[in-house]
Amino acid sequence: MATQTRLAVGVDIGGTGIKGGIVDLDAGTLVSERVKVATPEGAEPQDVLETVKEVLSKLDAPTTGLPLGVAFPAIIKGGYTLSAANVSDSWINFAAEDFFEKGLDRKIHFANDADVAGIAEVRYGAARDRSGLTILTTLGTGIGSAMIYNGTLIPNSELGHLDRAKHKHDAEHYAAYSAMEREELSWEKWAKRLQWYYSHLEFLFSPDLFVVGGGVSKHGDKFLNLLDIKTPIVAAVHRNNSGIIGAAALAAE
């Protein structure tokens, strides 16, 4: 195991699961098992806090004294959660960072879940040493996004909530991995929805690289080659661990 001064803990709170692990900050890899516990139904603040405590207690190494980063699916400014995607509306305009610090009795670094996943891929993964604009998207319960320009994060982009013209629902309702599961779509039919989404992002931002994260990225060979876009698009190296790794990396700073 790496020396303790180069370790940090990351917790990634999602709409369906809360994951955590201890990260080697030099290698950008987990040095503990990855612990995952289901997100409590309704995802109310106190219930989520208790589940984060459960995740930390299940890690197979001591975490006391290590930096702790917590990633959350919301717009985050000044420690407040300003939105609520796939969690309770109680999180809107909620002093979440202070809530977690008091509940866990320790300092944390608190950030958007997709943003920290983007940091992980820029520092340790698919976007490392890439110049220009990288857009990372996480395809899961919803669609999270991170925009990184020449290594610098542009926070809280929320590109999963782009409107679809003449349609009631937004992009993530139409094209997230949860839509594929909910509607029992084939990879080919889901890829047609992703084609619309990534073509739209390409038109709006002219990125230099797309990185696809989330658990479905391990199946990248089933759908990425079906997309016809000009921008290179690759699966995240750290897949569903990117949020844990990025949260830990930012906490160490």
Domains along the chain? Answer: 4-115+242-251 (3.30.420.40), 129-237 (3.30.420.40)
Q: What is the pLDDT of residues 101-154, one digit of tens each?
A: 999 999 999 999 999 999 999 999 999 999 999 999 999 888 999 999 999 999
Q: What is the pLDDT of residues 191-240, one digit of tens each?
A: 999 999 999 999 999 999 999 998 899 999 999 999 999 999 999 999 88
Do 144 and 113 form a contact (C-beta atoms < 8 A)?
yes
Higher-confidence position of 124 and 166 = 124
How does DSSP classify residue 79? T
| 81: enclosing H helix or E strand | strand 80-81
Do 111 and 71 form a contact (C-beta atoms < 8 A)?
yes
